[in-house]
Structure 1
Amino acid sequence: MTEYFFDQHYHNIRYGLETLNLKEFESCTFNNCDFSECNLIGVTFMDCQFNNCNFNTSKINHTAFRTVFFNDCQIKEVNFSMSDKLIFEIHFKNCALDFSKFYALKMKGTTFTNSSLVAVDFMATDLTGVQFINCDLYRSEFEKAIANKVDFRSSYNYTIDPSKTKLKKAQFALEGLKGLLYKHGIIVE
């Protein structure tokens, strides 16, 4: 039976391997919590907020993220690809997501603000309307992604092959053009 928690506030908790499994959290706030040892299975987070939390290397399996905000969180090496895909909506601000995976997810309208996205896997992901605001996208992979209407204007260090990524109406700053032309050996100064 699933345990349900509504409008709760959690502070400075270090969660164990299976502590949260088969639980549902709605309108809850997590502050300074550590999820790094978690193997999340069948957990639902709906209208939740995570502030200054550590998710580094946590495992996410069939976990639902429905309108979830991550602020100032460490989320390195996390595979979101196994998340519950029904109403998947997440937003990141001032987060480190290096080496994480979003492979083949539908992430329409997601916002990444002031975040590090080094070597993140966005392959085959639907990024329609995503906003990358002042993000480091060094070595992130966008092959076979749908990046239509994505805002890359203030982000940097990306390399995207327009022949392998759908970019209709995507927005780029003039300084970012070199990230689109790298495979052609064209030098932009």
Structure 2
Amino acid sequence: MTTYFFDSTYQDTTYGEEAMHLKEFESCQFINCDFTACNFIGVTFIDCTFTNCNFNSTKLNHTALRTVQFNNCKMQDINFAMCDKLIFEIAFSRCNLDFSKFYALKLKETLFKNCSLIAVDFMATDLSEVVFDHCDLYRAEFDKANASKADFRTSYNYTIDPEKTKIKKATFALEGLKGLLYKHNIIVE
């Protein structure tokens, strides 16, 4: 049986392994919470905000993220591909998402603002109209992704193969062109 929580604030809380089983949170805020030992199973978050929370290596199995905002969170090595895909809507600001996986998810129009996305797996992901605003995309993987109309203008350290990634009408800054031409050994100055 699912337990329902509405319009609540949780602050400075450390959650244990089974603390997030079969729960639904709507319009809730989580501030300075630690979920590193937590194993999410059958959890739903609707219109929730997480600020200064630690999710490093957390398991998000069958977790629904519906209009969820993450601000200044540590989220390294998270497999978002295991989340419920129905109404999957998320946004990230000042988060560390290094080594996380978004494999084959629909992230259309998602905002990544001032995030570290080092070695993130975006393979086969729908990144259409995604905004990467001042993000570090070093070694992020984009093979078979659809990045049509995505905005990379202020981001850096990306390498994207236009032969393996759809980038029609995506926007890039002139300084970022070397990330599109790397495999051709072309020098851009």
Q: TM-score, normalised by structure 2?
A: 0.99
Q: CA deviation at 1:134?
A: 0.2
**RMSD value over aligned CA atoms?**
0.4
Show the counterpart of 2:186: 186
State the secondary structure of the residue aligned to 2:120: coil
Q: For the residues of structure 1 that align with 2:109 and 2:45, how far apart are their CA atoms?
A: 18
Q: CA deviation at 1:44?
A: 0.2
Show the counterpart of 2:98: 98
Letter of the structure 2 residue corresponding to residue 172 of structure 1: F
Q: For the residues of structure 2 that align with 1:175 and 1:111, how far apart are their CA atoms?
A: 21
Q: CA deviation at 1:18?
A: 1.1
Letter of the structure 2 residue corresponding to residue 117 of structure 1: L
Identity over aligned residues, as a percent? 70
Show the counterpart of 1:75: 75
Letter of the structure 1 residue corresponding to residue 103 of structure 2: Y
Show the counterpart of 1:60: 60
Q: For the residues of structure 2 that align with 1:95 and 1:149, how far apart are their CA atoms?
A: 23
Do structure 1's residue 110 and structure 2's residue 110 form an aligned pair? yes
5+ long unaligned stretches in structure 2: none
Q: For the residues of structure 2 that align with 1:28 and 1:56, how far apart are their CA atoms?
A: 21
State the secondary structure of the residue aligned to 1:92: strand
Show the counterpart of 1:158: 158
1:121-165 C-alpha deviation (Å, 9 max, x unpaired): 000000111000000000000000000000000000000000000
Runs of 4+ residues deviating >3 angstroms:
none
State the secondary structure of the residue aligned to 2:85: strand
Do structure 1's residue 25 and structure 2's residue 39 form an aligned pair? no
User: Number of residues paired by the alignment?
Assistant: 189
Show the counterpart of 1:120: 120
Show the counterpart of 2:130: 130
Letter of the structure 2 residue corresponding to residue 70 of structure 1: F
Show the counterpart of 1:7: 7
Letter of the structure 2 residue corresponding to residue 79 of structure 1: N
Q: TM-score, normalised by structure 1?
A: 0.99
Show the counterpart of 2:142: 142
Q: For the residues of structure 2 that align with 1:59 and 1:6, how far apart are their CA atoms?
A: 23
Letter of the structure 2 residue corresponding to residue 163 of structure 1: E
1:28-57 C-alpha deviation (Å, 9 max, x unpaired): 000000011111010000000000000000
State the secondary structure of the residue aligned to 2:106: coil
Do structure 1's residue 84 and structure 2's residue 84 form an aligned pair? yes
Q: For the residues of structure 1 that align with 2:187 and 2:4, how far apart are their CA atoms?
A: 56
Letter of the structure 1 residue corresponding to residue 79 of structure 2: N
Q: For the residues of structure 2 that align with 1:149 and 1:39, how far apart are their CA atoms?
A: 35
Show the counterpart of 1:168: 168
Show the counterpart of 1:35: 35
State the secondary structure of the residue aligned to 2:178: helix
